[in-house]
């Protein structure tokens, strides 16, 4: 049986447990399910202790209330996690769609070079203006660019249509940062110098040998010499 904890003692236990759970629920690395379970446990513990203390079973009430609150909080937290994951997936999908539309418009849109090429190929102004209206484009229409268009035969009507054409603008939510080039660190290998072996010419390079005179051993006695 669960020991009964009644009166102020039961509330003290429930308060300490609640304080610990509320402190843990503030951790930033928890998802909604974990945080909800802890919050539900804390609230259920307080409520269970309050209800159980009337009948002298504050400890049992706190335990039952904590378990019930944990289950309820976990269910609510799971729903919040699922909703958050769904929102992220929808945002990623919308960004991918906008990126694909931008790429498609960029491929179909006209530019200054297209206007010059169409004009010099003999295409009428009506056709060029209609292409600008239906396909749009990204035109460089500063002073030097307009002078270059006029120098290449583009008419004022076509230039005005280009000025009034809808620009292809990429939504800010779909802008993807260009990939950064990888940094390759080349580690220089230490140079290896192979020195040739020393060349030794024939001959003796040590100190000159000492000369020793060989004499017959001395045997003693008297030497007799005769001369004629």
- How many separate helices (H) and strands (E) can be counted in the chain? 7, 0
With a cut of 60, say whether residue 11 has pLDDT above it. Answer: no
CA angle 12, 15, 18 (to 5 degrees): 150
Mean pLDDT confidence for 82-99: 75
With a cut of 60, say whether residue 71 has pLDDT above it. Answer: yes
Give CA–CA dist 77/33, Å, rounded: 4
Class of residue 185 by CB neighbours under 10 A (exposed 0-12, middle 13-18, buried 19+) = exposed
For 44-70, what is each residue's pLDDT tens digit? 676 666 666 666 655 666 667 667 777
Mean pLDDT confidence for 83-99: 75
227: left (phi over 0), alpha (psi -120 to 50) or beta: beta
Choose from 2-6, 16-20, 33-37, 83-87 the range with maximum mean pLDDT: 83-87
Give CA–CA dist 12/62, Å, rounded: 11
What residues does 110 pair with on adjacent strands?
Answer: 137
14 against 158, higher pLDDT: 158
What residues does 137 pair with on adjacent strands?
Answer: 110, 167
pLDDT of residue 177: 52
Give CA–CA dist 61/4, Å, rounded: 9
pLDDT of residue 58: 59
Residue 155 DSSP class? -
pLDDT of residue 207: 62
Mean pLDDT confidence for 6-26: 53
Q: What 3-state DSSP class applies to 208?
A: coil
For 101-154, what is each residue's pLDDT tens digit? 555 555 568 899 999 999 999 999 999 999 998 888 889 999 999 999 999 999
pLDDT of residue 148: 95
For 168-198, what is each residue's pLDDT tens digit? 555 554 444 555 555 444 555 555 555 555 5
pLDDT of residue 155: 96
With a cut of 50, say whether residue 1 has pLDDT above it. Answer: no
pLDDT of residue 135: 85
CA angle 190, 196, 198 (to 5 degrees): 135
């Amino acid at each position: 049986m669960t020991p009964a904890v009644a009166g102020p003692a039961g509330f003290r236990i429930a308060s300490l447990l609640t304080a610990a759970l509320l402190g843990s629920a503030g951790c930033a690395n928890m998802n909604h399910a974990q945080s909800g379970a802890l919050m539900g446990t804390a609230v259920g513990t307080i409520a269970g202790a309050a209800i159980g203390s009337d009948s002298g079973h504050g400890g049992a009430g706190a335990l039952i209330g904590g378990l019930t609150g944990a289950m309820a909080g976990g269910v609510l937290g799971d729903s919040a996690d699922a909703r958050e994951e769904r929102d992220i997936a929808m945002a990623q999908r919308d960004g991918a769609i906008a990126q694909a539309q931008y790429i498609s418009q960029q491929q179909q849109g006209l530019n200054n070079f297209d206007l010059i090429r169409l004009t010099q190929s003999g295409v009428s102004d009506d056709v060029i203006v209609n292409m600008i209206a239906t396909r749009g484009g990204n035109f460089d229409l500063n002073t030097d660019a307009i002078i270059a268009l006029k120098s290449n035969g583009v008419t004022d009507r076509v230039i005005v249509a280009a000025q009034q054409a809808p620009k292809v603008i990429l939504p800010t939510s779909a802008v993807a940062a260009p990939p950064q080039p990888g940094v390759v660190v080349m580690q220089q290998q230490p140079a290896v110098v192979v020195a040739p072996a020393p060349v030794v010419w024939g001959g003796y390079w040590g100190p000159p040998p000492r000369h020793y005179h060989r004499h017959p051993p001395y045997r003693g006695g008297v030497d007799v010499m005769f001369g004629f």
